[in-house]
Structure 1
Amino acid sequence: MMSDENATPEQEPETAVTPEAETPETDPVETLRLENAELRDKLLRMAAEMDNLRKRTEREIADTRAYAIAGFARDMLSATDSLSRALMVLPADARTNADGTTTSLIEGIEMTEREMQRLLAKHGVRPIEAEGQKFDPHKHQAMFEVPDPTRPAGTVVQVVQAGFAIGDRVLRPAMVGVAKGGTAASSEIPAEGEGGVDKEA
């Protein structure tokens, strides 16, 4: 009688895999339909991103064109101010009592100032409306208050120095005097140097 140690263990019969037990294959048409939908979604997203990039680039180019000369224009305003001051200090009878040379000099200064203003306007630099307007801390800088009961409080009654803007940006705020009293409700006017002006270059 053979011992159990020499006996070979009985192997379990392998389970036969029937076609029914296999994972059913997906329909190739449905697979292609899903892939097509996924690719279409990616394509639409990419087209939207490209369109956004194009619009953003166009905006940046437009901003660069509009504001590239902001620093230069601000310096030009200082030059036009000097010409204006030169004309303002002339006596009232300077033209009538002046000789030909002085008259030509005055006319030359006036023509130069007008030409500089024209060139600034050509490149989008425009004056800021101030006198008679309601005080706007983004465009005006209050220098002093004027007791004027005939004007609503907060109305600009005097322009000390003209302000200028380029596009939506303020190059230089208008320095103004503001009505102190009147029929309108008084609004807080920032002190000198606290105009809250946006001076983007």
Structure 2
Amino acid sequence: MSDNKYQPEAEQGVEQEPLTPDTAALEPEVVESASDAIVAELELQLSAANELAQSEKDNALRALAEMENLRRRAAQDVEKAQKFALEKFATDLLPVIDSLERALEHTDKENDGFKAVYEGVELTLKSLLDTVEKFGVLQIDPQGTPFDPNKHQAMSMVESAEVAPNSVVAVMMKGYELNGRVLRPAMVMVAKGPAINTQA
């Protein structure tokens, strides 16, 4: 085996290009320029990756917030459905309650012949009111209270010196609410101040 195989190229007869002063001076600048280009490219890629990561994070946070809002709305809808499921049924019961109250108003409880009927109707009405109250139906009986347009419907106004203006002086028909929602406003008569005589 020949030893030429293991000798450096210069020793094997391959001529190396001698480094001139010009090529020796340019080589570090070329390397530095290439390094700067690579660093600049990497910085651009890093900046783009950071922007993409921030964008994806924002999208994820928005999606999470939307899901939370959707969950909250669904929970509110279920709660409302449970609270007001009986609304139509309760509204349909109101004429029955009104009829029982009118029967009591027009029955003479002092008359021995009607006393048993009066007591029976009174017990039936009380039982019905107690039952609907268990399910959140409450009477609105605003006699003597200030007029509230959210719960009362003014049927007429009368002059009165005995009560404050804008107070309910008479209830023509009681109102009802279900868990705070008005099923039917109370039909009322409202007081107004006495007319002022402007003639001298």
Q: Is the 8 A contact 2:152 2:188 kept in 1?
A: yes
Percent sequence identity is 35
Q: Which residue identity is paired with 1:52?
A: N
Deviations 1:37-92 (A, max 9, x none): 22222221111111111111111111112222111111111101111111111114
- Separation in 2 of the partners of 1:93 and 1:129? 25
Give the match for residue 91 of structure 1: 108
Q: Which residue identity is paired with 1:119?
A: T
From 62, 81, 86, the equivalent of 1:69 is 86
Q: Which residue identity is paired with 2:144?
A: G
1:125 partnered with 2:142: no
- How far is the alpha carbon of 1:32 from its aligned partner? 4.2
Q: Say which one has the larger Rg.
A: 2
Q: Which residue identity is paired with 1:164?
A: Y
- How far is the alpha carbon of 1:137 from its aligned partner? 2.4
Q: Is the 8 A contact 2:137 2:179 kept in 1?
A: yes
- Separation in 1 of the partners of 2:56 and 2:156? 66
Give the match for residue 179 of structure 1: 191
Give the match for residue 14 of structure 1: none
- How far is the alpha carbon of 1:134 from its aligned partner? 1.8
Q: Which residue identity is paired with 1:70?
A: E
Give the match for residue 26 of structure 1: 42
RMSD: 2.7
Q: Is the 8 A contact 1:150 1:182 kept in 2?
A: no
Q: Is the 8 A contact 1:84 1:113 kept in 2?
A: yes
Q: Which residue identity is paired with 1:122?
A: K
1:170 partnered with 2:182: yes
- Separation in 1 of the partners of 2:162 and 2:110? 34
From 66, 79, 82, the equivalent of 2:96 is 79
- Separation in 2 of the partners of 1:137 and 1:34? 56
| Greater relative contact order structure (CA < 8 Å, 6+ sep) | 1
- Separation in 2 of the partners of 1:178 and 1:22? 87
Deviations 1:98-133 (A, max 9, x none): 38xx61x43332222112111221111112241122
- Separation in 1 of the partners of 2:154 and 2:52? 66
- How far is the alpha carbon of 1:35 from its aligned partner? 3.3
Q: Is the 8 A contact 1:151 1:182 kept in 2?
A: no
Give the match for residue 9 of structure 1: none
Larger helix percent = 2
Deviates most, 132-141 or 172-181: 132-141
- How far is the alpha carbon of 1:138 from its aligned partner? 2.5
Q: Which residue identity is paired with 2:80?
A: D
Residues 80 and 170 of structure 1, relative CA distance in 2, 3 Å threshold: same
For structure 1, list consecutive stretches of 5 or more residues without a partner in the other structure.
1-17, 184-201
Q: Which residue identity is paired with 1:176?
A: V
- Separation in 1 of the partners of 2:86 and 2:109? 36
From 158, 170, 176, the equivalent of 1:158 is 170
Q: Which residue identity is paired with 1:53?
A: L
Q: Is the 8 A contact 1:152 1:182 kept in 2?
A: no
Give the match for residue 49 of structure 1: 66
